[in-house]
Amino acid sequence: MTDRRAWSWFTSVFASPCRRLPRVKASALPILLVAACLYWLASAAAEPSQESKSPKSLRKAWTTSRVVGSPDPPPPFRIVRAFANLKFTHPLLLARCPGSGRLLVGEQAGVLYSFVDKPDAKADLFFDLRKEIKTVHLLPDAKEVEAVYGLAFHPDFAKNRQCFVCYTLRGKQRPNLADGTRVSRSSFRAPFPETNALS
């Protein structure tokens, strides 16, 4: 089909119906636009939404659950004493010494014990912060070590034997000091379980 014949076919199909349309006055144009919008809104509301078209009814209902806990009760458990020979007063921390099979427990009063990770273990004194911390007097309002709260080992503990202890100091006049929380770096000269001096 040549370009001229294609153009004449196009105008005969699309242009001739447009010639037959009645002329619309300019004042009626807004009314026609409003009517077209209302028709479009009404037809959109009448169509079913995509959610209602989704096949929810085709999914199988769950009849069993693998969720453990609320609202299902947790499986039964019992408390077992791991170390029958050990007893501590207000223990606040538990840490594993890297490169050894020993655990360390810190009592609130500032005493740390070490023991082998075995059911029949017996605790050995690791160190006593109350005796080993020699810098309490540098804080005028401090009286003594109040509590130990944390213990972390240096990443290279096997070589440098250093760890870090977090503790608080008790005041002379009032129990809580404004600047009473301390972190001390400790170096241990001897292997476990002997008492080691802080440097």
pLDDT, one tens digit per residue, over 6-35 is 556 555 655 554 455 455 555 677 777 888
Per-residue pLDDT tens over the stretch 118-139: 999 999 998 888 888 888 888 8
User: Which is higher by pLDDT, 51 or 111?
Assistant: 111
DSSP assignments along 85-138, one per residue = T---SSEEEEEEPTTSSEEEEEETTSEEEEEESSTT---EEEEEHHHH---GGG
What's the N-to-C CA distance of the chain in angstroms? 101
**How many residues appear in the chain?**
199
Q: Domain spans of the chain?
A: 91-187
- Asked if residues 126 and 112 have their Cβ atoms less than 8 Å apart, the reply is yes
Alpha-carbon distance of 54 to 67, in angstroms, equals: 27
